[in-house]
Structure formats: C-alpha cells, structure tokens
Amino acid sequence: MGNIDELIDKLARDGTAIKPALHPVLLSLEWIAAAVFYLAVALVVSGLRTDLIVKLHEPWFVAEIAVLAGIIIATSLSAALLSFPDLHQMRRVALAPAIAFALFALVMLFAWRADNPPSQPPIHSVECTLNITMLAILPAASIFFVMRKFASTHHYWSGGIAMLAAFSVGALWLRLYEQTDSIMHVIEWHYLPMILIGMLGMWLGKVLLKW
C-alpha cells in the first residue's frame, strides 16, 4: 500500500493541466477531410479515367464508388473510436465497418452478375495492388501516428481498421483513375489485397499501438 500511495503522490505532482483529446467524431472528420484532399491531389496528378462520365451512368459503378466512400467514413470513425480505451462508450458505432463491408460485398456481387458477358480483364495484374499500396502508405502512416497519441485497448482491431481506412482511399483513387470494367480484376487485384492488408494491419497495430 505504501508503494501505491507514493506512486499516487508522484502522479498527482505530475498531473499538470492537460487538454482532453478531440472527440472521436471530430477526429474522424479530420481524417476524412484529409483523405478527400489527398484523393483530390492524387487524381489531379494521375488524371481521371477518360470514360468516367459514361461510367457514372452505370448504377453498379456508382454504387461501388458510394460504398467505397462509405467504407472510408465508417473505418475512419471506427479507428477514431478504437483509439480510446473505452471506445468513447460508442461500442456499436465502432462496428460500422462491418455493415459497410457487408454492403460492399453485396454491391460487388450484383456488379459481378451485371458484368455479363464478362469484360476483358486488363493485361496488368499486381501493378494495381502496388499502386494502391503506394498511395495508401502516407494515409496509413499518418493514421497510425495519430493513433499512437491515444490509448487504444484494442490493438489488433485498431491496426486492422486503420489500415483498411488508408487502403480504401487507395482503392477509391484507382477505381476513379484506372480504366477497367472487369469486376473480377478489381475484386482480385484491388479489393481482396485491401482486405489482406487489413489483416497485416492487425499485426502492425499490435506492434505500433502499444502504450
């Protein structure tokens, strides 16, 4: 007990005024705004796909883009909540990415069925994954950097969701830039790697988010 009292005295002496962390909703809005800006810059640099106007008249393409944007929002919000030890007592909201990904799977299923006869896949393959990865490195690093200032008690989930947030930005960029109609190609080389990298993020979370 003596040690505890001494420790409390010491901590109390160190207990200078401190500014409470940003509310997770505001934090996620910051991340989303940064993602929108980053995406805009990336599209200005890379250029938009030339058939974008035509594609925006295809319902399943629009749905895919909308749900991808939804994934960015849901994962950003969830990552912000997971940065707090108690998930800011909004545990259910932290599960939002599950709904977004379920919707996404549904949209991709319908898009795949609508892609009949199947569009010709592009000649390249893994280059898409590499492009998404290159573009996602900066958002991933910045999300992890911010999350390290908090106190997550869910390292695996925090890391995984942070990585998915970053890689969904990369995936959205590539979908607006790369001119391909093959749903199998985008599933195989855009979205499945994104989910696998989310799993790598779980490991990164364990390593990087210790406090």
Structure tokens at 174: 């590539």
**Binding residues with other proteins: total (CB under 8 A):** 29
Nearest approach in angstroms of CB 91 to other proteins is: 10
Residues 111-144 as b or e (16 or more Cβ within 10 Å = b):
bbeeeeeeeebbeeeeebbebbbebbeebbebbb
Nearest approach in angstroms of CB 75 to other proteins is: 20
User: Could you tell me which residues come within 8 angstroms of residue 174 by beta carbon, excluding any fewer than 6 positions away?
Assistant: 128, 131, 132, 135, 190
d(CA 39, CA 75): 16
Does 15 help bind other proteins (rule: CB under 8 A)? yes
By beta-carbon proximity to other proteins, the closer residue of 16 and 116 is 16
Site string for other proteins, 20-49 (x = CB under 8 A): xx-x--------------------------
The single residue listed with the structure tokens 């250029």 is 47
Nearest approach in angstroms of CB 16 to other proteins is: 6
By beta-carbon proximity to other proteins, the closer residue of 129 and 158 is 158
Does 14 help bind other proteins (rule: CB under 8 A)? yes
CA atoms 28, 29, 33, 36: torsion sign: positive
d(CA 34, CA 71): 15
Residues 76-88 as b or e (16 or more Cβ within 10 Å = b):
bbbbbbbbbeebb
Q: State which of residues 9, 48, 99, 192 lies at the interface with other proteins (CB under 8 A).
A: 9
Nearest approach in angstroms of CB 140 to other proteins is: 22
**Contacts (CB under 8 A) with other proteins, residues 69-98:** 83-89
Q: Where are the beta strands (DSSP E) in the chain?
A: none
d(CA 8, CA 56): 61
By beta-carbon proximity to other proteins, the closer residue of 18 and 123 is 18
Stretch that binds other proteins, among 103-111, 148-156, 183-191, 200-208 (CB under 8 A): 148-156
**Contacts (CB under 8 A) with other proteins, residues 151-170:** 151, 153
Q: Residue numbers of the site for other proteins (CB under 8 A)?
A: 1, 3-4, 7-9, 11-21, 23, 83-89, 150-151, 153, 211
